[in-house]
Amino acid sequence: EAGVAQSPRYKIIEKRQSVAFWCNPISGHATLYWYQQILGQGPKLLIQFQNNGVVDDSQLPKDRFSAERLKGVDSTLKIQPAKLEDSAVYLCASSLKGTAYEKLFFGSGTQLSVL
């Protein structure tokens, strides 16, 4: 079974530039998550989609971050403009139904460095 695919693997940009990350969840998984993981910390949820609708985006900095999940499958996360503190690994995860206690499957992430 193919896992969660993310690209690019690494990205280096200068502050104030924009960047986009792509995620392809496990086939058939209704729920998709974007997490931000700063070095030395655990992942922090940015946004959760159920099919193509947003369930939780309470921790998404909406002035600069945006995300979409068209057709309820692939998703993109965009940062515009980037700040130095956005340097982190951006992890995408998916789960089958998004119900409580369900196992999450994570991709390997995109490591972003903002200079």
Partner 1 sequence: LAKTTQPISMDSYEGQEVNITCSHNNIATNDYITWYQQFPSQGPRFIIQGYKTKVTNEVASLFIPADRKSSTLSLPRVSLSDTAVYYCLVEGYSTLTFGKGTMLLVSP
Binding site for partner 1 (CB under 8 A): 4, 33, 35, 40-45, 48, 56, 91-93, 100-101, 103-109, 111
Nearer to partner 1, 3 or 14 (CB): 3
Amino acid (1-letter code) at residue 40: G
CB of 2 to partner 1, least distance (A): 14
Nearer to partner 1, 17 or 113 (CB): 113
Nearer to partner 1, 15 or 28 (CB): 28
CB of 66 to partner 1, least distance (A): 19
- Find the length of the chain: 115
For 84-87, the CB contacts below 8 A with 24+ separation are 84/15, 84/114, 84/115, 85/114, 86/112, 86/114, 87/38, 87/112, 87/113, 87/114
CB of 110 to partner 1, least distance (A): 11
Nearer to partner 1, 10 or 83 (CB): 10
- Are the C-beta atoms of residues 94 and 31 closer than 8 Å to each other? yes
- Alpha helices in 34-75, H assignment, sequence order: none
